[in-house]
Chains A and B, each alone.
Chain A
């Protein structure tokens, strides 16, 4: 290249810009992302039903999935450099997420209306937890 003889400031640029493949991020970004991931893990434990101090009941699942998604987005955007990728890579990253969305969405629409063909009852079974014995054994 003709620019090769011109003076470059950095010693790492001696083979020309056309060979710089990926995106180089400042180290600070990786440290901040790791810190955020650890804080979010702490939050998800803190808000959980089993180990946490704040209890939301059924909301715990929603909180856990929202926090997990925030962590996944951080890992994908910065650790996997998705933020700096071309549109085709974004498409490859997005299509399984969209398919899972359709899949889970269909499940949540379908489930409340499911009927067990044996009993003709809704598929949502009565919980047989250790604290509450099954309905059939309650009279024994």
Chain B
């Protein structure tokens, strides 16, 4: 078996992939990822439904509480995530064309966008903390917070879980990036880029709904 990086033979994936033909292996991996993404959507669905119920019950409080969020930072983060998703899609395209250098470049930009997103989220969280808006009773203006707690409980659950997904997605893309640096990808095999990008797009999809719900409508 020649080394994966040799130009004579196209790398067709890790050893276990050779138990089936590459197209079947690729299709199975992608279908499995879609099934996993479906369970991820259902995980967030519970939170969205909870948000719908509590917003119905405490419409005025939700409106007031949402005024504490900085919509400019939210819009900035939305644009950052959309651009990161674009570069994830371009990375898959580059892998399909066996351009491993471009794959690395695009994935680096995507991961950097994820990092920018998290830094902005950290700035937002610390501003909330300083204003006493955190999920605990009796903050600096604890009485005010009593009325806001259902909103901010959901805010921290939803954005926190989403932030966790951003971190996991960055790890997944970093794994694909390391493979791209070893020249692993070609039209015959690019499953890690495809899988990583699918996960990243899901992270973007969830934020697409979180942003207007939390920041704009309230």
Interface size on B, residues (CB 8 A): 67
CB pair B204 A75 closer than 8 Å? yes
Contact partner of B45 (CB less than 8 A), chosen from A60, A86, A99, A124, is A99
Q: A48-B212, A79-B88 are in contact. Are A123 and B57 (CB under 8 A)?
A: yes
Given known contacts A24-B93, A34-B83, A64-B213, A19 and B188 CB-to-CB distance under 8 angstroms: yes
For A123, list chain B residues within 8 Å (CB): 56-57
Within 8 A of A (CB), among B48-63: 48-49, 52-53, 56-61, 63
Residues of B within 8 A of A (CB): 10, 12, 21-23, 26-27, 30-31, 34-35, 37-39, 41-42, 45, 48-49, 52-53, 56-61, 63-64, 66-67, 71-72, 75, 78-79, 82-83, 85-86, 88-90, 92-93, 96-98, 147, 187-188, 190, 194, 197-198, 201, 204-205, 208-209, 211-213, 215-218
Chain A interface (Cβ < 8 Å from any Cβ of B): 12, 15, 18-22, 24-25, 27, 30-31, 33-34, 37-38, 41, 44-45, 48-52, 60-61, 64-65, 67-68, 71-72, 75-76, 78-80, 85-86, 88-89, 92-93, 95-97, 99-100, 103-104, 107-108, 111, 123-125, 127-130, 132
Shortest Cβ distance from A21 into chain B, in angstroms?
4
Q: Please give me the residue from chain B that is nearest to A52 by CB atom.
A: B216
A21 touches B22 (CB 8 A): yes
| Cα-based distance from A38 to B84 in the complex (angstroms) | 12
Give chain A residues whose Cβ lies under 8 Å from the Cβ of B23: 18-19, 21
8 contacts between A and B (CB under 8 A): A12-B187, A27-B90, A51-B72, A79-B197, A96-B39, A99-B42, A104-B49, A127-B63
Residues of A contacting B78 with CB < 8 Å? 41
Q: Chain A contact residues: over half helix, strand or loop, or mixed?
A: helix
Chain B residues with CB under 8 Å of A78's CB are 89
Contact between A50 and B67, CB atoms less than 8 A apart: yes
User: Among the listed A34, A99, A129, which residue makes an inter-chain contact with B86, where contact means beta carbons less than 8 Å apart?
Assistant: A34
Partner of A111, one of B56, B58, B187: B56
In the assembled complex, the Cα of A95 lies from the Cα of B201 at a distance in Å of: 18
Chain B residues with Cβ below 8 Å from A108 are 52
Indicate whether A128 sits within 8 Å of B31 (C-beta atoms), given known contacts A19-B188, A30-B89, A65-B212: no
A67 to chain B, nearest CB (A): 7
A100–B56 contact, CB under 8 A?
A: no
**For residue A71, which residues in chain B have a CB less than 8 angstroms away from its CB?**
208
- Compute how far the CA of A37 lies from the CA of B201 in the bound complex, rounded to whole angstroms: 13
Chain B residues contacting A130 (CB-CB under 8 Å) are 64
CA distance A87 to B27 in the complex (A): 13
Q: Are A30 and B93 in contact (CB under 8 A)?
A: yes
Contact A96 B45 (CB under 8 A): yes
Q: A48-B212, A108-B52 are in contact. List 4 more A-B contacts (CB 8 A).
A: A49-B218, A51-B216, A79-B88, A88-B31
B215 and A50 form a contact (CB under 8 A): yes
On whether A92 and B38 interact (CB within 8 A), knowing A12-B97, A125-B58, the answer reads: yes
Given known A48-B71, A103-B45, A129-B61, contact A79–B86 (CB-CB < 8 A): yes
Given known A61-B217, A129-B60, contact A107–B49 (CB-CB < 8 A): yes
Chain A residues near B75 (CB-CB < 8 A): 41, 45, 51
